[in-house]
A = this chain, B = another copy of it.
Amino acid sequence: MELGERKQRILTALIDVYVRTGEPVGSKVLVDMLDNAVSSATIRNEMAELAAMGYLEQPHTSAGRIPTAAAFRLYIDSLMDRRALSEDDRREIDTQLKRAAGDPEKLVEEASNVLAETTGCAAVTTTPSSYAADIRRIEVLRVSRYSAALLLMTGSGMLRTRVCRFDSDIENEALETLSRALNEYFCGSLLSDIGLPQVQSLVTALGAYGLVCAPALTTFYQLVQESAELEISLKGQLNLLHHPDYDPVRARDLLTFLAQRDMLTRLLTAVPKGLRVVIGSESKRPELDGSSIIVTRYKLGGRPDGSIGIIGPLRMDYAFEIPRIEYFARSIGRIMDEIIGLDKNNPDDEE
């Protein structure tokens, strides 16, 4: 059902006002918005039709209208005028992100913080998907007589350590053999390809040291699992508690829902590739009624990788926030490539 041009103008104006004020919009305000081209009665007629079409609703008879999720959907898909970020805004974002550069995980976390702060919403990000990353190097470092640290370095620039305790004192020779074997077997493997059987098969390969090194192999396996796992960071939850559009109880319930990380995972990993905006009830989760999610993916080495986005009330300045999030994603991709992307072109290990 195609919307007449005037209906589109009215709907757009109404959304613009609503996004600004948060109050139901009456016909009089819209007359002004449309330069007195038509009278309030005409607007009222049009609004009644828009309401019948499911684009507007009234909290009660004598209140103005507010846009429905369907209206926001239409607005985002075809009505809105994207507002580009100013040069200043971009520079600001870039500098803030670069401050955290050095380590991909820190970068993404900092992006989350900055995004939450600038939008006043909660920000979600996933770390670069190390699932498909390859192991570059494994170090075994003695900590004490009977404990050692394993260090894992991946092609995505991630470093992880984990301490392992042996059942008794362990010889240097054993640790060196372990280190050699681990590197020999697993360097170049994808994290996702390493299963328990592969790790277990090392026990025999380690010969005389197989048994004493067993705890280290378990630790190594856990380390790989943990590293392959997608990590989700959620920042700025307090923003939601302070947001005027949420009453404290709704905000609390939303936070409780978001605290179940598997829900978040599902929401984030379902993002196909480009941008995804989930508006209120579209998510089919009652807890997300009244909230919107804007997510996009950042690229790593040119390929879509982790996700970044915000969660906030239905009433968001989509025309502004969407470009902002897209810029964040681009900026993260760019900086991350600077940190590690280039390394991909020049693999260069010592061993």
Q: Which residues of A contact B (CB under 8 A)?
A: 102-103, 136-137, 139, 141-145, 147, 149, 151, 153, 157, 159, 161-165, 172, 219, 238, 241-242, 247-249, 251-252, 255-256, 259, 339-340, 342-343, 346-350
Which residues of chain B come closer than 8 Å to A347, judged between CB atoms?
A: 144
Q: Tell me if B163 and A103 are in contact (CB < 8 A).
A: yes
Chain A binding surface SS class: mixed
C-alpha gap A139/B148 in the complex (Å): 14
- B238 with A348: CB separation less than 8 A: no
Report whether A143 and B162 are in contact in the complex, using a CB–CB cutoff of 8 Å.
Answer: no
Q: Pick the residue among B139, B142, B164, B343 that contacts A349 (CB under 8 A).
A: B142
Q: Is the CB of A161 within 8 A of B151?
A: yes
Q: Give the CA-CA distance A145 to B343 in the complex, in Å.
A: 7
Q: Would A159 and B157 be within 8 Å (CB), given that A141-B151, A238-B259, A343-B147 are in contact?
A: no
CB distance from A167 to the nearest CB of B (A): 13
Would A149 and B145 count as touching, CB distance under 8 A? Answer: no
How many Å lie between the Cα of A136 and that of B142 in the bound state? 10
Q: Which residues of B lie under 8 Å from residue A346 when comparing CB positions?
A: 144-145
Give Cα A343–Cα B142 distance, bound, in whole angstroms: 12
Chain B residues closer than 8 Å to A144, beta-carbon distance: 340, 342-343, 346-348
- Complex contacts, A349 vs chain B, CB 8 Å: 142
A151–B251 Cα distance when bound, in Å, is 41
14 A-B pairs with C-beta separation under 8 A: A102-B164, A139-B151, A141-B153, A142-B349, A142-B350, A144-B340, A144-B348, A145-B346, A151-B159, A163-B339, A238-B255, A242-B252, A242-B256, A248-B251
The CA of A252 and the CA of B255, in the complex, are separated in Å by 12
Q: Which one of B145, B165, B339, B350 contacts A339 once the chains associate, using CB atoms below 8 Å? A: B165
Partner of A141, one of B139, B149, B248, B249: B139
In the complex, the chain B residue whose C-beta lies closest to that of A343 is B144
Least CB separation from A250: chain B residue? B248
Chain B nearest CB, measured from A66 CB (Å) = 24
For A252, give its contact among B136, B145, B241 (CB under 8 Å).
Answer: B241
Residue of B nearest to A160 (CB): B161
Query: Which residues in B have their C-beta under 8 angstroms from that of A350?
Result: 142, 172
Instruction: Assess A139 versus B139: contact at CB under 8 Å? Given A157-B163, A163-B102.
Output: yes
Contacts of A242 in B (CB 8 A): 252, 256
